[in-house]
């Protein structure tokens, strides 16, 4: 029984990470109806920046917030320079550009910071106050951080004019433009926010899985599964989906299929959700007019 | 009259090309011959992906998985069942066709990004599946399977060079490549090819014209997977080694790079794309271990902006410039529509 509880709690902790990656994907999807394949690689790159800062003597939280800010700027910059020209291009072009970004970030991370596996510090050391029987302090800490991110995002979208403008731009670009929202810049903001959330997720997962250029490959897949399971157009769905995927992954890994086939679980979840319930658990059914 | 002389030149050109292709392996070192073999193998794989993505507009980021399945089927047949190397191709083709067809079913419900995503998941998951303990007895687990390169069945010496295993394989692969390209050409230059392009450019109009969308789309997925599976089977023979880590998700991206560089919806473009993905990493490797991928990425993005029709489009553009005729220029245009027209946008 205790072992089962352990698995479930570890699943919740991982689920928090998947939820945040899923959330970042939902953010971009809501604004642009695209799925960003480079999300994981961008997050890894941000984590490398944080690692480099900490190596050079920055305090953890200083490096943390600086990295988030840098990632936001980087995301915004990428949208403005690389993606703006293909904003209205067909899906294939977009997917290819995303894949291009994916390999560029992966290669750059390997090129600049080299391919050796690095350990990443955690701000929540063992044996601190929040250490409990079932959770390690890092697990609790990362869940708290993710909840803070979620809360901040909710407040941003709900209570600030900028958040309102972003929602408007995503929902009805034409009308939003008519009332003076700069739609294209709002898309850039969306990219910036997604990159920032990705950076937080990267820094939270790195102490667990260790840092190397391919760190986010599997996590990105779980993030996709989370976002799809919850419904790709629903931020709360992505969060709940993340926790479901996290728990499911850990339970299946521990009791049913073993740890080697974990990625296959994600594959089955993705294909299964897309075929059986394409709108996800909490998504709205999309009706297109032909 | 003009038609006749044109035809004559085409025949002479083809004969010269054939002789050149036959002499080529004897002019260079064994290692280069091996690289040429890989170019032809990649060309088949890229062609397979191009049938699906370029002609039919279904985006796959998971063709490395079919390549891996083809390679493993061939390797297991040769290693465990003692099947001769040339007899493995139909098995790989059929199994990959079935797997591709099954993957094509969920693909029917997924458009654009979601299909790319589902196939990307397949590409990421396949190395793990191949390492799975339950099938280790067959797949050799993490170590993979080591095979023997087939020797030439007879002795021969041209220009003082013996017919080594790699040179023998060169002719074998050349023959298979020619057959696969011929099949693709026959398939795509007729009724079926037009139906595929119609589905890509305007699915609703295509179904209104009587094209059976589900059948065509899932069959295309199967055929495309079969092509890539044949390439995988050839690679198992040519490399004489398969292991899960040679089939990472980056292999699938490599094929996509080949398709984009060669030119979407272009059959000869597959060869240009294959040459690119075989030789450019070698050159870039000298700068840094990570450089090939950085260059791939930059090429992918720049090509999308500057040359969305790839090498094939560029060549046909230059050709039509030289001819100066407006009629010739239209040849590249149908290809260009694959990438420059919004999906679902009507075309006059």
Nearest alpha-carbon partner for B301 in B258, B253, B260, B268 = B260
Highest-confidence segment of B6-10, B61-65, B115-119 = B61-65
ipTM: 0.81
pLDDT at A74: 92
- Going by pLDDT thresholds of 50, 70 and 90, the confidence category of residue B94 is very high
pLDDT surpassing 50 at residue A225: yes
pLDDT tens-digit profile of A69-104?
999 999 999 988 888 887 777 778 888 888 889 888
Nearest alpha-carbon partner for B67 in B299, B238, B184 = B238
User: What distance in Å separates residue A118's CA from the closest CA in chain B?
Assistant: 18
Alpha carbon separation from B335 to A205, B176, B188, B260, B264 (Å, rounded): 44, 26, 13, 12, 7
Return the residue of A nearest to B252 by Cα.
A99
Return the residue of A nearest to B112 by Cα.
A91
pLDDT at B49: 92
Chain A CB contacts of B264 below 8 Å: 92
The shortest CB-CB distance from B256 to any of A35, A99, A260 is to A99
pLDDT mean over A107-133: 76
Interface contact A218, partner B, CB < 8 A: yes
A30, A40, A41, A103: best to mutate for the B interface, most B CBs within 10 A:
A103
pLDDT tens-digit profile of A173-217?
888 889 888 888 888 888 888 899 889 888 888 888 888 888 887
User: What distance in Å separates residue B253's CA from the closest CA in chain A?
Assistant: 8
pLDDT at B68: 92
Alpha carbon separation from A279 to A272, B19, B39, B115, B316 (Å, rounded): 12, 57, 42, 14, 43
The shortest CB-CB distance from A267 to any of B61, B112, B122 is to B122
pLDDT at A286: 63
The shortest CB-CB distance from B118 to any of A90, A97, A274 is to A274
Return the residue of B nearest to A98 by Cα.
B301
Query: Is B294 within 8 Å of A224 when comparing Cβ atoms?
Result: no
Six-digit token pair at A172?
């009805």
The shortest CB-CB distance from B297 to any of A103, A270, A274 is to A103
Q: Are A78 and A194 in contact (CB under 8 A)?
A: no
Alpha carbon separation from B299 to B33, B50, B263 (Å, rounded): 27, 18, 13
Q: Are B245 and B58 in contact (CB under 8 A)?
A: no
pLDDT surpassing 70 at residue A290: no
Chain A CB contacts of B290 below 8 Å: 107-108, 110-111, 115
Assigned CATH topology for domain A2-276: ABC transporter involved in vitamin B12 uptake, BtuC (1.10.3470)
pLDDT surpassing 60 at residue B348: no
Could you give phi then psi for residue A21, rounded to 5 degrees? -65, -45
Mean model confidence pLDDT for chain B: 81
pLDDT at B62: 87
pLDDT surpassing 60 at residue A41: yes
pLDDT at B332: 43
In whole angstroms, give the CA distance from residue A259 to residue A223: 18
Query: Is A89 within 8 Å of B339 when comparing Cβ atoms?
Result: yes
Chain A CB contacts of B298 below 8 Å: 100, 104
Residues 14-73 of A with CB under 8 A from B: 33-35, 37
Highest-confidence segment of A26-30, A242-246, B156-160, B261-265 = A242-246
Buried b (16+ CB within 10 A) or exposed e, B254-271: bbbbbbbbbbbbbbbbbb
Interface contact A259, partner B, CB < 8 A: no
SS3 (DSSP) at B146: strand
pLDDT at B226: 92
pLDDT surpassing 80 at residue A222: yes
In whole angstroms, give the CA distance from residue A169 to residue A180: 10
Q: In CATH, what is the architecture of B29-310? A: Orthogonal Bundle (1.10)
pLDDT at B3: 57
- The 3-state secondary structure of A15-27 reads HHHHHHHHHHHHH
The shortest CB-CB distance from A278 to any of B109, B290, B301 is to B109
pLDDT surpassing 80 at residue A131: no
Question: What are the structural domain ranges in chain B?
Answer: 29-310
User: What distance in Å separates residue A169's CA from the closest CA in chain B?
Assistant: 21
Return the residue of B nearest to A266 by Cα.
B121
Nearest alpha-carbon partner for B293 in B268, B245, B256 = B256
- DSSP for B208-267 reads HTT--HHHHHHHHHHHHHHHHHHHHHHHHHHH-EE-GGGS-HHHHHHHHHHHHHH-TT-T
The shortest CB-CB distance from A90 to any of B114, B132, B339 is to B339
pLDDT at B112: 73
pLDDT tens-digit profile of A42-57?
999 999 999 999 988 8
Query: Is B301 within 8 Å of A97 when comparing Cβ atoms?
Result: yes
Question: What are the structural domain ranges in chain A?
Answer: 2-276
pLDDT mean over A13-42: 82
SS3 (DSSP) at A161: helix
Higher pLDDT: B275 or B24? It is B275
Chain A CB contacts of B116 below 8 Å: 35, 37, 95
pLDDT tens-digit profile of B277-299?
888 877 777 776 777 788 888 88
pLDDT mean over B137-145: 77
pLDDT surpassing 60 at residue B325: no
What's the DSSP call for residue A253? Answer: I
pLDDT mean over B88-107: 88
The shortest CB-CB distance from A35 to any of B106, B113, B341 is to B113
A33, A41, A83, A99: best to mutate for the B interface, most B CBs within 10 A:
A99
Could you give phi then psi for residue B152, rounded to 5 degrees? -65, 140
pLDDT surpassing 50 at residue B138: yes
Interface contact A96, partner B, CB < 8 A: yes
Buried b (16+ CB within 10 A) or exposed e, A201-233: bbbbbbbbeebbbbbbbbbbbbbbbbbbbbbbb
The shortest CB-CB distance from B110 to any of A82, A115, A274 is to A274
Region of residue B145 (phi > 0: left; psi between -120 and 50: alpha; otherwise: beta): beta
Chain B CB contacts of A108 below 8 Å: 290, 294
pLDDT mean over B181-208: 86
Any idea which residue has 């089939």 for tokens?
Answer: B247
Instruction: Please report the number of interchain residue pairs, chain A to chain B, with beta-carbon separation below 8 angstroms.
Output: 153
Q: Are B347 and B316 in contact (CB under 8 A)?
A: no
Query: Is B308 within 8 Å of A93 when comparing Cβ atoms?
Result: yes
Region of residue B240 (phi > 0: left; psi between -120 and 50: alpha; otherwise: beta): left
pLDDT mean over A233-256: 84
The shortest CB-CB distance from A261 to any of B129, B289, B291 is to B129
pLDDT at B96: 92
Question: Has this prediction a pTM greater than 0.80?
Answer: yes
In whole angstroms, give the CA distance from residue B105 to residue A22: 26
Return the residue of B nearest to A101 by Cα.
B297
Burial classification of residue A61, based on how many CB atoms lie within 10 Å of its CB (0-12 exposed, 13-18 middle, 19 or more buried) = exposed
Chain A CB contacts of B304 below 8 Å: 86, 89, 93, 96-97, 100
pLDDT at B328: 43
pLDDT mean over A280-287: 70
pLDDT at B340: 44
Residues 260-299 of B with CB under 8 A from A: 260, 264, 288-294, 296-299
């Amino acid at each position: 029984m205790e072992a089962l509880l352990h698995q479930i709690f570890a699943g919740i902790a991982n689920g928090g990470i998947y939820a945040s990656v899923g959330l970042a994907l939902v953010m971009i999807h809501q604004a642009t109806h695209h799925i960003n394949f480079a999300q994981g690689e961008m997050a890894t790159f941000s984590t490398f920046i944080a690692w480099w800062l900490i190596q050079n003597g920055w305090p953890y939280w200083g490096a943390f917030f600086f990295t988030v800010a840098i990632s936001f700027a980087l995301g915004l910059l990428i949208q403005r320079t690389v993606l703006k020209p293909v904003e209205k291009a067909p899906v294939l072009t977009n997917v290819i550009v995303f894949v291009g970004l994916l390999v560029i970030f992966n290669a750059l991370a390997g090129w600049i910071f080299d391919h050796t596996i690095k350990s990443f510090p955690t701000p929540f050391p063992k044996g601190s106050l929040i250490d409990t029987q079932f959770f390690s302090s890092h697990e609790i800490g990362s869940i708290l951080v993710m909840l803070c991110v979620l809360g901040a995002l909710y407040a941003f979208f709900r209570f600030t004019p900028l958040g309102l403008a972003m929602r408007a731009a995503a929902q009805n670009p034409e009308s939003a433009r008519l009332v003076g929202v700069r739609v294209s810049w709002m898309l850039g903001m969306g990219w910036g926010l997604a990159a920032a959330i990705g950076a937080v997720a990267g820094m939270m997962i790195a102490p667990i899985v260790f840092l190397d250029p391919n760190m986010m490959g599997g996590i990105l897949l779980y993030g996709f599964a989370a976002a799809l399971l919850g419904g790709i157009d629903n931020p709360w769905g992505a969060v709940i989906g993340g926790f479901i995927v996290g728990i499911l992954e850990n339970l299946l890994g521990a009791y049913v299929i073993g740890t080697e086939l974990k990625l296959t679980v994600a594959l089955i979840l993705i294909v299964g959700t897309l075929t059986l319930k394409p709108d996800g658990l909490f998504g709205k059914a999309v009706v297109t007019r032909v | 009259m003009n038609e006749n002389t044109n035809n004559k030149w085409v025949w002479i050109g083809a004969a010269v090309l054939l002789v050149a292709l036959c002499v080529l392996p004897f002019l260079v070192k064994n290692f280069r011959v091996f690289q040429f073999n890989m170019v032809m193998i990649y060309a088949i794989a890229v062609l397979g992906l191009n049938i699906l993505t370029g002609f039919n507009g279904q985006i796959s980021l998971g063709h490395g998985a079919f390549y891996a399945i083809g390679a493993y089927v061939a390797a297991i047949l040769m290693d465990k069942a003692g099947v001769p190397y040339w007899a493995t191709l139909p098995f790989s083709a059929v199994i990959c066709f079935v797997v591709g067809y099954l993957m094509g079913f969920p693909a029917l419900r997924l458009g654009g990004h979601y299909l790319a995503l589902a196939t990307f998941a397949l590409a990421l998951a396949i190395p793990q599946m191949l390492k799975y303990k339950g099938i280790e007895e067959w797949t050799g687990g993490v170590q993979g399977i080591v095979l023997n390169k087939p020797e030439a069945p007879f002795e021969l010496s041209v220009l003082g060079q013996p017919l080594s295993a790699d040179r023998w394989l060169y002719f074998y692969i050349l023959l298979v490549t020619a057959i696969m390209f011929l099949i693709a050409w026959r398939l795509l230059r007729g009724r079926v090819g037009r139906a595929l392009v119609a589905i890509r450019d305007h699915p609703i109009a295509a179904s209104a014209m009587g094209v059976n969308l589900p059948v065509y789309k899932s069959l295309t997925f199967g055929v495309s997977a079969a092509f890539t599976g044949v390439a995988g089977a050839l690679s198992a023979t040519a490399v004489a080694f398969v292991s899960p880590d040679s089939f990472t998700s980056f292999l699938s991206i490599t094929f996509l790079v080949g398709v984009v560089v060669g030119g979407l919806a272009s059959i000869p473009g597959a060869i240009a794309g294959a040459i690119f993905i075989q030789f450019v990493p070698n050159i870039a490797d000298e700068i840094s271990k990570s450089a090939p991928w950085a260059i791939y990425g930059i090429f992918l993005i720049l090509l999308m902006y500057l040359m969305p029709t790839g090498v094939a489009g560029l060549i046909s553009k230059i050709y039509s410039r030289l001819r100066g005729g407006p009629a010739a220029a239209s040849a590249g245009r149908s290809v260009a529509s694959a990438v420059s027209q919004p999906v679902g946008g009507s075309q006059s």
